[in-house]
Amino acid sequence: MIYAVKKPNESNERLISRFKKVVQRSRVLLDSKQHRFHEQPKRKRFVRQAAVMRDAHRKQKAREQFYSA
């Protein structure tokens, strides 16, 4: 469970911003967004493959751009 305890002499706005940072670092929102809808296992595999291919193309494009200059 994620929580932030108010420190002495700390404003409410500062407490809220600290809490937001803790939530972002814990990746709770990212996980909840990913699991918002059910994905079939076959679909997950295609998404992963597409991500790998994207990364490979980006690396190749950067390599070509570096050596062409």
d(CA 12, CA 4): 11
Given a contact cutoff of 8 angstroms between Cβ atoms, the answer to whether 22 and 4 are in contact is yes
Give the number of other Cβ atoms within 10 Å of residue 4's Cβ.
16
Query: Does residue 68 carry a pLDDT above 80?
Result: no
What does the DSSP 8-state code read for residue 56? Answer: H
Distance of CA 54 to the CA centre of its chain: 17
pLDDT in tens, 40-52: 888 888 989 999 9
Mean per-residue pLDDT of the chain = 89
Q: How much is the average pLDDT of 9-38?
A: 91
pLDDT score recorded for residue 69:
63
Q: Which two tokens stand for residue 17?
A: 């911003």
- Cα separation, 8 vs 33, in Å, equals 34
Q: What is the pLDDT of residue 9?
A: 94
pTM here is 0.51
